[in-house]
Chain A
């Protein structure tokens, strides 16, 4: 019996090592992309001095000094007019990556998401058969997140309390938001501040060895970090991500094939969406949804 256990262990372990490597690469990639966001300082000008700046391809020109493109005054109180609404988030969207590069990264992320996802998230037929089950794995992500919340690698200055406190603590965040769930303190040693965005964490999150030896946890974490990369991509290269989602919706609308991969549609769950983009998304859906008889 020990030999049997060792045999399965050997082949299973190899698979685990691959998953662990994939996870590591995804973590590094998501941190690198998170660094590209510039923090909006109190007076509205994008402040590029915080955090590390990653070197993008030479074709991308990032001009952190010019306030024209992205600076808005952060309004006090609730009398903000609609055009200032986007400025209440503490970050400025990163400049776009080269389009081919973005498209390639997106394809790779979709591949990872597909690999890590349970069947009911991958295929249209499975999604229809067993819709309720898709909520259970969201809960498993939640439990994984809890154990990885102890983060001892913190760099950079603390968040100014006024920025952090705008967003009230989302106590009731539920499993419906798989990758946005935990409000992790950014740049602060394990003190829970007000709601922040885990996607923007630039500190390396260690994974406990217990989780590292479990296929399920590995897949969950791979999905989580791929989702973060998609989040960053959607902020910097929205047209690329949106055209992929829209393309898949169009394919779903126009084909009568029984079973299709729906991973591309699930991309929208990971995206950074402001009102304009939400409208775009809903518009795209409404155009394609009507049942063709």
Chain B
């Protein structure tokens, strides 16, 4: 797909995902706590759109990437664990400043 077509899709996709988050909060919570509730689709779309990051208008792509990351539970968790200094975090507990 042409790059501008991808951007044309990214905008509405972002709004659609935000609508889902806002109006199906219980499903969102559930997706955050379990694996693969969204069957890996946000990750896939994220990867595809990520290729546009450097070549296109940032305002077009970054918001979509942001919200896709928000619903990609598995990735966030691994990133979070990775960057929390290697300290294993108990589920649900926040690592505050120490």
A interface list, Cβ under 8 A from B: 78, 80, 82, 85-86, 88-89, 124-125, 127-128, 131-132, 134, 167, 170, 173, 176-178, 180, 197, 249, 252-253, 256, 260, 262, 265-269, 271-275, 278-279, 281-283, 285-286, 288-292
Contacts and interface: CB of A to CB of B under 8 A. Distances in A.
16 contacts: A131-B7, A167-B25, A176-B63, A252-B9, A260-B5, A266-B12, A271-B19, A274-B27, A278-B20, A279-B38, A279-B39, A282-B38, A282-B42, A282-B45, A289-B6, A289-B45
The prevalent SS among residues of A at the interface is helix
Contacts of A89: 23-24
A50 to B, nearest CB: 21
Contacts of B24: 85, 89, 273-275
A150 to B, nearest CB: 24
Nearest to A266: B12
B8 A80 contact: no
A141 to B, nearest CB: 13
A197 B22 CA distance: 11
B72 to A, nearest CB: 11
A176 B51 CA distance: 24
B38 A278 contact: yes
The prevalent SS among residues of B at the interface is helix
Contacts of A170: 22
Nearest to B37: A275
Contact of A177 (B5, B18, B26, B44): B18
B41 interface: yes
Contact of A275 (B15, B20, B63): B20
A131 B16 contact: no
A272 B23 CA distance: 9
Scoring B1, B29, B34, B48 by chain A CB atoms within 10 A of each residue's CB, the highest score goes to B1
B48 to A, nearest CB: 4
Interface string B33-68: 010011101101100110100000101100100000
Contacts of B34: 82
A290 B39 contact: no
Contacts of B81: none
B31 interface: yes
Given A80-B26, A131-B11, A282-B38, A273 B19 contact: yes
Contacts of B94: none
B26 A289 contact: no
A6 B3 CA distance: 47
A288 B39 contact: no
